[in-house]
Amino acid sequence: MSEGTYTQLLDLACGAFLLAAVVVLWQRKLTAIVRTFALQGVALAALPFLLGLHEARGELIAVAAGIGVLRTGVLPYLMRRALDSLVPAPVTGAGHRYVENVSEAWETQPLVNVAASLLTAALLTLLAYAVARPLVLLGPAPATRALPVGLAVMLIGFFVLSTRRRALAQVVGFLLLDNGITATAFLAASGVPLIVELGVSFDVVLAVLVLQILTTRMRTAFGTTDIDDLRELHD
């Protein structure tokens, strides 16, 4: 692969990675958010794959395959299952009109409205570029130049985590944050050792499993997954 093609494909993967984070912010439907997150996993897996091809390192390609399976397959599957158990099936039949309760499937009222959060994402991206400037100057290669993209996705993930109300949207925010950290590691240091990557991946899977159980429990206890209902203490 020539230098020019490598740079172009790397830039394209980084652009798609950042774009997916923005689209998560834009969507209201939780299924669409989960689907966008899965697409972001493809872009994230493309980063170590391209780096591995460019530097001819086999283990990076293996890491890419692992990340691809985990972030485009396992995690979205777990979240989709949690979502299916949350949203009751529409009631149809004699005597009933078609009734569907969509309140659990939509991020209806985020703390910051969508237009304002999109503009905030623009500011966060600019902030990431400003912060990463000295780091990029240390070693200007195509991969390090894309470093701000990882930081921006981290910041956007943190923003999603702090402004969305539905538990599942917050899980996606947490995973965006993690995607951003992974991307930053690949871009800055061509990846962390395989054992650390494995540890982080298991950590993420466990966190999502625990959060999934917690969400289902919340739903049975309160009848909703709105995090704001957890403010008050009950005995």
Partner 1 sequence: MSGPGIAAVAAQVAVVTAGAPLLAGLMRQVRARLEGRAGAGIAQPWRDLRKLLRKEPITPVGTGPAFRAAPALLVATTAVTAALVPFLSTDTPVGRNADVILVVALLALGTVALALAGLDSGTAFGGMGASREMTIAALVEPTILLAVFALSIPARSTNLPAIVAGAVEQPARLASPAGLLATAALAVAVLAETGRLPVDNPATHLELTMVHEAMVLEYAGPDLALVELGAQMRLTVLLGLLTSVFAPWGIATGPSWAALAVALAVFVAKTALLGAALAAGEVFWAKLRLFRVPELLAGSFLLALLAVTASYFLSGE
According to CB under 8 A, which residues from 13 to 32 bind partner 1?
A: 14-16, 18-19, 22, 26
Q: For 120, how many CA atoms within 13 A lie in the half-sphere containing its CB?
A: 18
Minimum separation from the CB atom of position 39 to partner 1 (A) = 15
Contact between residue 148 and residue 129 where contact means Cβ atoms under 8 Å apart? yes
**Smaller CB separation from partner 1, 116 or 221:** 116
Q: Which stretch binds partner 1 (CB under 8 A): 10-18, 50-58, 66-74, 86-94?
A: 10-18
Of 155, 176, 197, nearest to 59 by C-alpha is 197
Least separation in angstroms between residue 135's CB and partner 1 is 12
In whole angstroms, the minimum distance from the beta carbon of 38 to partner 1 comes to: 20
b/e map of 13-44 (b: 16 or more CB within 10 Å)?
Answer: bbebbbebbbbbbebeebbbbbbbbbbbbbbb
Distance of alpha carbon 123 from alpha carbon 200, whole angstroms: 29
When asked if residue 102 is in the footprint of partner 1 (CB under 8 A), the reply is no
* Number of residues forming the site for partner 1 (CB under 8 A): 28
Site pattern 116..155 for partner 1 (x: CB under 8 A) = x-xx-xx--xx--x------x---x-x--xx-x-------
Q: Which residues sit at the interface with partner 1, rule CB under 8 A?
A: 4, 8, 11-12, 14-16, 18-19, 22, 26, 113-116, 118-119, 121-122, 125-126, 129, 136, 140, 142, 145-146, 148
